[in-house]
Amino acid sequence: MRYAFMQKHRYEFSIKAMTKVLGVSRSGFYNWVSRSADKSKQQYRMQLDSLVQQRFIASKERSGAPRLTKELASEGSKYNQKTIAASMRRQGPTG
């Protein structure tokens, strides 16, 4: 709760002052910020993995990262080919 308050008001007050007033450590706040960033990154990966898996199965498991990247780009979703390839590696050979 305190960290969320600090995050919300970080541009109004200095982090150092807020940690002193709220009785928390700066390192604790920055650890909390990095953990919340990790969660959003994990959610992004899960959504991407699901999308890649759907496209891979729809192509009868024949499309690789270059083709999937082009298909997604033609639909308006811009992803780097290496990102698609990493998603495919995470999911294993069968998607």
For the chain, percent of residues with pLDDT exceeding 90: 71
- How many residues are recorded in the chain? 95
Q: Is the dihedral of CA 12, 13, 14, 18 positive or negative?
A: negative
Cα radius of gyration rounded to whole Å, the chain: 20
Q: What are the residue boundaries of the structural domains of the chain, listed by start?
A: 2-91
Residue 42: its pLDDT value, please? 87
Residue 94: its pLDDT value, please? 59
The Cα–Cα gap between 89 and 81 comes to 12
Tell whether the model's pLDDT for residue 89 goes beyond 90. Answer: yes
Residue 35: its pLDDT value, please? 85
As a whole number, the mean pLDDT across the chain is 90
The Cα–Cα gap between 95 and 93 comes to 6
Residue 38: its pLDDT value, please? 76
The Cα–Cα gap between 94 and 73 comes to 22
